[in-house]
Every structure is written in C-alpha cells, then in structure tokens.
Structure 1
Amino acid sequence: MDVHRLAGDEAHDTLAFLSLVPELDARVLPAPVLSVQATRLSGGLAVGLSVHHAVADGRAVWRFMEAWSSAAREGSPVTKVLGPPHYSRDVISHPNADELAREMLKTVAPNLPKAKPVSTFVALAALSWTAFVRSKGLGAGDDTYLAFLADLRSRLDPRVSEAYLGNCVRACLASCADAADLLGQAGILHAARAVQAAVAEMEAAPLSGTDKGWMQKLMRLPFQRLTNVAASPRFRAYEAADFGFGKPARVELVSMNHDGEMVLVGGRRDGEVQASVSMDPAHMDAFKACILG
C-alpha cells in the first residue's frame, strides 16, 4: 500500500482507504455503534474509525475525536477548551408544528438583510456544484440539486450545548430548475444564492424538514444530477486525530465515495480547508479542470 499516495492530494485508491476502516454490522440488534481499526503501514500508522450515524452527527464525532486524542496526549479527555460531553436526549424537543408561525417565518426570511458575505461552506459548495454540472455535461432544461446537512445546535430554542454528543442535524436541499443557469459567468453566484436560500429556509424553521416526508422527497430526486456536500470546514479533523504523534499525514471520511460527493474538513495547516471529491472517473478530469481553471 502506497502511503505517500494515501496522504496525497491526487486521485485516491478507494479500495485501499476502505480496507483501513472497520465495518459496522447493523443487521442484528443490538448492533455496534463504534469500531476502531489500527493498521501498521510501511513508514506510518493508519487509524480507521467507523461510527453509526444513528447515534452521532459529524460535529459530535469530531468532538469525540478531540476528547479521545486529548486523553492520549494529555491523559484527560477534558481540557480548558473542551468540556465534558453529555448524552442527554432531553435537550431536543420536537414540538407540534405551528403552521401559521412557520409560514410567517418563511415569508419574512427572504426579506431580511443579506449584506454579509457568503461563508466558506457556501462558496465551496457553489464552486463544486457548478463544476459538477459542467463535468457531467448537464445543460438547458436539466434540473439539478445540491444536498447538505445543517447543524441545529445553535438554531434550536433553547440552544443545544456544544458538548451534546449525538445527532442534531437537518437535511437541506438547494435546487436549480435549469442547469444552464449554473453554466454562465454568473453560475457560481446563482449557485451560491440557491445554497443560501436553502440555509435561510432551514434557519426560519429548523425542524420543518425532520419528518419522514423528507426522505421520500430525497428518494425521488434524480441522483445523476444531485451533488452532496458533507461535513464542514469547521470540523478540526487534523487536531482531533492528533494522538500525541503530531497531526496525521491524511484524514479522510472514506465512506463518502459515491459519484458527486464532496467532503469538507479543516485542513492540516491553519486556515486551510481540505476538500475531498468523489466522482465517476470518466468525469474527474473535467471536474478538476473546472475547479483549477
């Protein structure tokens, strides 16, 4: 196994990455929710972690990783900047939907000031979406979509503690009725506005997309025209995976390996964002050309 290739930025060997991560067999209950695999490599060590999404979302997993690596480095999972976790499910309540209030929020939200610049996530999501559309050869008349998960911890009332260990996310969907709108000079701007609109809809009614109807809606989408952006530039992946040997050469979410997926985490160096892209090999060169110019 080529360690330098695993830690590099070019095309990854998906099968090699998958071999470094243990499987979770959830076919029989009770089922495991976490599994760890350490693989000795020539000139290095790979630590693979599998966590079932039923018990924790991305933010909770990386917080768990920070606590675990802190225990390895410093002897304690609790530090000045990392408080003790909790697993209480009482902090999240799902109230009966108040349709009137929800519709009012949807009406008011689009009229709120939008002067602040786009976030790093929105910018990278828009860039990847337009590159996906171009590399796939989509054009006039093709509808296209971008899906992502939003962290609800700071958006619920009352707010959910940063130390909450579990799932507290909601699916969001940005849509474009005509892919041609993403191909012109203003394509990235159009894509960014669509992503921002999806975020605004979520912030107006954080729990409105949490019923079973959302999954049915998702399954009806044309997956060949769907882009999925996972994780967040705010996830301190390399700091969380420092077990006392320094930051690892590479951190990857190897389960995100389907066509049209991009994973964003904080990069190895301060201020960096690592973007890992999974595409059909037939379209990868075109995708890279769209991103790199």
Structure 2
Amino acid sequence: MSSMLGVLRSQIPHVPHRFLSSRPVRVVRVSHVLPYRATNTSTAVLKLSFFDLLYVTMAPVQNVLFYKGPSLPPFPSIVNSLQSSLATTLAAFPPLSGKLMTQDDGPSSREVVIDCSPGAVSPGVKFVEAEYRGGAVDGMRRLAGDEEHDAEVFALLVPEVGPAGQLPAPVLAVQVTRPAAGDGTVAVGVSMHHSACDGRSFWRFMSAWATAAREPGHHLVQPIFDREQVIRDPRVQQLTRKSKQRFATNAPVDAFRFPPADMARQRRRTFWLGAGEIQSLKQRLCRQGSGIIVEPLSTFVAVSSLVWTSIVRAKSTMDHADDDCYFLLSADIRRRLRPPVDENYFGNCVMGCLARATVADLSRDGDDGLVCAASAIQRAIREDLEDPMANLEHRLALRHGLPADRVTVMGSSNQFRPFETDFGWGAPSRVEMVSMTVMEEVVLRGAPDGGVQVSVALGRTHMEAMTSNFRQDGVHIRQGELSACKGLLKTLHGVIVWG
C-alpha cells in the first residue's frame, strides 16, 4: 500500500452472501483515500452559491468509463495507480474530500455548505473495488459494447453517495470494477454531488486525476472554489440569500421538478455522429434555413435539432399538431455574469435555456422541421443568455409548470472531451452518464476524431421510431460494437449507433 495515501483504511462490507450472489456486481473491498498532503484552504467551510443550491436535492453526477485492451495493467496495479493519483489530485481539489451538510446562518436562515474541516475530511474518499459476475467470460467486454444500455448494471458500476437530497453526504466517491472471470476490461465509475460541480467542473477533475496517474509528479493547478470571492454578481448573491431562507423552512430549492425516470418503461441508446456527417448536417440546415438560421451554425445546435425532431416525431401524431413541445438545455454562463466568473472557478455556473416549438413545426417535411428546431434553439440561447439573471425567478417558476411528457432535457455538451481521460492505459472505449434521471433525456459528448456521442433516454415504446427518424432524415446509421465504431469513425462519414 503506497505511503503516499497517508491513511487508507480497507474493509469488506458485511452483506449477506445470498444477496451478493444474486447481483451481477459484487463489492470486494471498500477503502478510503485521503489527500496526499495537508492543503491550505481559506476556510474550513465552503459556502455554496445559488447555482449550487439548485442541485442539492438532485441525483449526483455519475459517469462510468470503460477501458479495455492489451495495454491494461493487472488489476492490482490499476487500483494502486488510481488510489495514489486520486490522493495527489485531492490535494489540489480539497473540497471533494469533504462532506455536504447544513448549518444555521442566523435565526431565519439555513445554508448548505461543504465541510472541509479535518473532522469531515479525515474519513477519506470512498474507493470501491468490485467484480462484475454477469454473463459469460467476456460478459463485461460485451457490456462495454452492447447495442443497448444495460442501465441497471451501469448503475451498479458507480458508487453511492447517499440518497438524493439527504444530508450530510460525501461529495465524491469512486469505484473500479473488473470482470470476475477473464481480464482485459475495467470500468471506472465516479459519483460527485451535483451541488459541488457542473459538467465542466466534473470533467476538469477527471482530466486532472488522469494527468496525475499518467504523469506522476505533474504539477496540478488548484481551481478556485470560493463562491463568494468569484461570483460577485449582486443578483446571484441576493438569490443565494433567498435560498438560505427557503432551506430554513425546509422548502425545496431545485432546478426543475420532473418525475424521476421509470427504468422499467425506459430504454437508453447511444448514437455516434462522425465529423463528416455533422458538417453535412450543418450544410443542409444552413442551405434550407437561409435567412432563418443564424450562421455560423454550432455543432451543438445542429445535433440538438436532429435529436429533438427525431424524438418529437416518434412520440407525436398530427392529432396533437398544435401542442407545444420544449427543449431544455443548460448553458455555461461564467463569462455572461457581471462581473464575469474566473475561468478557473470550480462549481456550478450554468443556467437553463428553454426552446419552444409546436409539434407541427418540428414535423414538417424534409429539412424544414430541422430548420424550425435549430431556429428555436438558437433563439432560446440568444434570448435567455443575453442577460441570464434577468427575470430568473419568473423563468424558473414557468419551468416548474411545464408538462414533463413534452420536455426533452439536454444534459452535458459536445465541448466536453471525456474520451481524453487517459490514466496511462489509453483512451476509454466507452463513456456513459449513468445519472440520466428523467424519462426523456439526451447527453452530448465530444467523441474521437471530431465526432459527437449522443446518448438518449426515452420511453420504450418510442425508441425504435426515434431511430427510424434518424434514417428518414438522411442520416446513415450503422449498428455495431463500440470498438468497431471507433475504428470506423476515422474513415466513415456517418452515424454509428448502438441498438
């Protein structure tokens, strides 16, 4: 055990054997990793901002990364490397070793904070070692490349940080899983409390951790965590004070109140768009939408338009042609606050943009429906982000009243590069967000060679029609295992889909 860890306590969880044997993932060992060295923090308690408080009651940000191939070292070496580099990384990210908790802030105010005191940090970050026992010898390799998501198993590949909204709770937990039989595949699962990070911050941590593992001794730049020092827009500060008063009365403060996903009624599938196909899609949209679409057209808007129209057409009939449908996306507003937020800031700093269109508009023939979708998304981004704090409480109240079955939630961004998370064994073969918590959700990720990964969660009865709509919109879809997809991306201008 590396002395770098300072203290690393291990234990075998006391779980009945009959329960363990019935689960495809069995926990083998639970350890706790402490920061490599004591770090100087400006305060033992990190106060959260309004943007953080929106996510206190929501599920954590959970991602699983699959690695496979001959470059993988033996599992004990993987565990040792991940633990040692995690200890190094936590020294630069001290709040991630702490705990989320509430504390009184006056007679009528209660706030949620990250406790970074020695007592909160001393247990360390939970590090779970597990085995996948499902399927045949190559079961985990197939899990990493199957056409359809096995969402129930994916949920067992990320560690728990406690029930959503229940405090106190750890900020971070890590899990590494290997196949019980065979070798050559490993899954790294990470859970981070959403009130501590947005997507940009999450992948910044992952990049730093991977760098520490791949390049021992590399100096990691510590982000800025102090919300009060960085987020100085007076309107944000006012909303933070109001949120504390709401917590004092146990009133919820959340980003949106959609019902949780019913896993029995949901399917998940991942699409890959190659760089050539994306460029072709942009050209089609700009040609058909001349004078309507603002150029240059971003990859995010082009891909989002394709997914949104495909979903709406799969779900709707012309009997509901006049119904409104909505596309809810989260946009980074660090540079849009006044004064702007430092680029080195670690925490939540996103705000929702809501696009609206009718079923009839998105169901127009040819590329006309795509143009309507792209125009609506561009308009929402332009209007909602011109001044993201303007009438914010009113906009949040309107969002709470939206019919959940007509809202497509977009999470993450193609600007994130999770496939660059190389711990020294090469790039991951597959990366998935496990915490897709609503019935209808889309996650965009930057993919190799300029492509985009699109993961879709949708009602079971609509997934096949949604895929068919991709084809009908002129997108060539190839099915197959992810390992084959990544090789094809280098030579094909097309979309590759799991499922």
**Does structure 1 residue 204 correspond to structure 2 residue 386?**
yes
Aligned partner (choices 93, 118, 133) of residue 232 of structure 2: 93
**Structure 2 residue ranges without an equivalent (≥5):** 1-133, 237-291, 473-499
Aligned pairs (5 A) from 1:251-262: 251-256=431-436, 258-262=438-442
After superposition, the C-alpha distances for 1:49-108 in whole angstroms (9 at most, x for unaligned) are 1111111100010011101110111125646xxx431212121123249xxxxxxxxxxx
Q: Secondary structure at the match of 2:188?
A: strand
The 1:253/1:96 distance shift into structure 2, 3 A limit, reads closer
State the Cα distance separating 1:229 from its structure 2 match. 1.1
| Larger-Rg structure | 2
Instruction: Check conservation: 1:67, 1:78, Cα contact below 8 A.
Output: no
1:170 maps to which residue?
351
1:227 maps to which residue?
408
State the Cα distance separating 1:217 from its structure 2 match. 2.1
Instruction: Check conservation: 1:70, 1:78, Cα contact below 8 A.
Output: no
Instruction: Check conservation: 2:325, 2:406, Cα contact below 8 A.
Output: yes
Decide which moves more: 279-288 or 115-124: 115-124
After superposition, the C-alpha distances for 1:139-158 in whole angstroms (9 at most, x for unaligned) are 31211000010001222233
State the Cα distance separating 1:115 from its structure 2 match. 4.6
The 1:209/1:243 distance shift into structure 2, 3 A limit, reads farther
The 1:242/1:254 distance shift into structure 2, 3 A limit, reads same
2:270 maps to which residue?
none
Q: Secondary structure at the match of 1:72?
A: helix
Letter of the aligned partner of 1:38 in structure 2? V
The 1:138/1:166 distance shift into structure 2, 3 A limit, reads farther
State the Cα distance separating 1:264 from its structure 2 match. 0.5
State the Cα distance separating 1:135 from its structure 2 match. 0.6
2:376 maps to which residue?
194
How far, CA to CA, are the matches of 1:189 and 1:47 in structure 2? 39
Instruction: Check conservation: 1:14, 1:257, Cα contact below 8 A.
Output: no
How far, CA to CA, are the matches of 1:274 and 1:183 in structure 2? 24
State the Cα distance separating 1:203 from its structure 2 match. 2.5
Letter of the aligned partner of 1:20 in structure 2? L
State the Cα distance separating 1:138 from its structure 2 match. 4.2
Aligned partner (choices 158, 163, 181) of residue 339 of structure 2: 158
State the Cα distance separating 1:114 from its structure 2 match. 7.1
**Structure 1 residue ranges without an equivalent (≥5):** 98-112
How far, CA to CA, are the matches of 1:12 and 1:248 in structure 2? 17
Decide which moves more: 182-191 or 217-226: 217-226
How far, CA to CA, are the matches of 2:225 and 2:468 in structure 1? 45
Letter of the aligned partner of 1:250 in structure 2? R
Instruction: Check conservation: 1:229, 1:261, Cα contact below 8 A.
Output: yes
Q: Secondary structure at the match of 1:252?
A: strand
Letter of the aligned partner of 2:148 in structure 1? A
How far, CA to CA, are the matches of 2:155 and 2:293 in structure 1? 42
Q: Secondary structure at the match of 1:145?
A: strand
Q: Secondary structure at the match of 1:165?
A: coil
State the Cα distance separating 1:119 from its structure 2 match. 0.7
How far, CA to CA, are the matches of 2:379 and 2:451 in structure 1? 26
Count of residue pairs brought into register by the alignment = 271
The 1:68/1:225 distance shift into structure 2, 3 A limit, reads same
Letter of the aligned partner of 1:154 in structure 2? R
Instruction: Check conservation: 1:134, 1:183, Cα contact below 8 A.
Output: yes
Q: Secondary structure at the match of 1:164?
A: coil
How far, CA to CA, are the matches of 2:391 and 2:175 in structure 1? 35
1:108 maps to which residue?
none
1:104 maps to which residue?
none
Percent of counterpart pairs with the same letter? 46
After superposition, the C-alpha distances for 1:139-178 in whole angstroms (9 at most, x for unaligned) are 31211000010001222233322221100100111011x2
How far, CA to CA, are the matches of 2:407 and 2:153 in structure 1? 26
The 1:201/1:115 distance shift into structure 2, 3 A limit, reads closer
Q: Secondary structure at the match of 2:187?
A: strand
1:17 maps to which residue?
154
2:450 maps to which residue?
271
State the Cα distance separating 1:8 from its structure 2 match. 2.6
Q: Secondary structure at the match of 1:54?
A: helix
Please give the root-mean-square deviation of Cα atoms over the aligned residues, in Å. 2.1
Decide which moves more: 18-27 or 64-73: 18-27
How far, CA to CA, are the matches of 1:209 and 1:9 in structure 2? 45
How far, CA to CA, are the matches of 1:210 and 1:204 in structure 2? 12
